Structure 1
Amino acid sequence: MTNNPNLGVSQPESFYEKVGGHATFAALVDRFYAGVASDPPLRALYPEDDLGPAAVRLRMFLEQYFGGPKTYSEQRGHPRLRLRHGPFAVTPTQRDRWLHHMLDALDSLALDPDDDAELRDYLVRAAQFMVNSFDEQ
């Protein structure tokens, strides 16, 4: 529970606060992008030479989604995940590559099992939602 000085009452912690806030999400995203950098087929989906800007965007998105700062929307507007990823062929194979690195990054956090399960469930569902092509070529 967190104490809200404006209301004088305790409010439940957000998931973001419960799992460690910014430091946890930064560690998750940093580990994830280290995996992406070493995976040429997945790396090819990222048009920028530097993965840093993509990492910042993902971290801000996840922080906001899980109850942290609203920085993502303040800087970029509505997430529109499918629209933003539309120019890229996100195939089931690319989804699986993405999930491999993201779940490896999640494992590295050693979260409480219930928190791990909640975050893992979201990541798996989000990855599936992003598939927009079945042309594996």
Structure 2
Amino acid sequence: MPSEGVDETFFHQIGGHATFRRLVDTFYRGVADDPVLKPMYPEDDLGPAAERLTMFLEQYWGGPGTYSELRGHPRLRMRHTPFKVNPDARDRWLKHMRDAVDELGLPPLQEETLWAYLERAAFAMVNTFEE
């Protein structure tokens, strides 16, 4: 019989839905006051965007497949094409996400795993170098 937790996904290891909800809620509190990022969100209320990001991250890390059930394949680069994601926007996104990750207080290995993914994803979304 496997050891306790060996078959657990990263989603479960870090606390499941509650942890991802805290991460995303903290992140969007920063975005709400960001003059560069806030205009990129089509809804005045960031709630729908927060819900989409929560579902995406949960699915990516081994949680429920709700994101794909509701929205299809993530196609992150395609979904971000309408927005000018330049290095400034990327760095602002990373700053707010860094604050959110830090607030979780995860063990070092889990924090590094999560952060490495978020950082790679942010760099991959850059689609222009224009200001």
TM-score normalised by length of structure 2: 0.95
Compare the two structures and name the one with the higher strand fraction: 1
Gaps in structure 2 of 5+ consecutive residues: none
1:57 aligns with 2:52: yes
Gaps in structure 1 of 5+ consecutive residues: 4-9
1: CA distance between counterparts of 2:112 and 2:6? 23
Q: What CA RMSD, in Å, does the superposition of the two structures yield over aligned residues?
A: 1.5
Larger radius of gyration: 1
Partner secondary structure for residue 44 of structure 1:
helix
1:90 aligns with 2:76: no
| Residue of structure 2 in register with 1:31 after alignment | 26
1:69 aligns with 2:54: no
TM-score normalised by length of structure 1: 0.91
Alignment of 1:1-137 (within 5 A): 12-136=7-131
Higher relative contact order (CA 8 A, sep 6+): 2
Partner secondary structure for residue 88 of structure 1:
coil
2: CA distance between counterparts of 1:2 and 1:53? 38
Deviation at 1:42, TM superposition (A): 1.1
- For 1:111, give the aligned amino acid: L
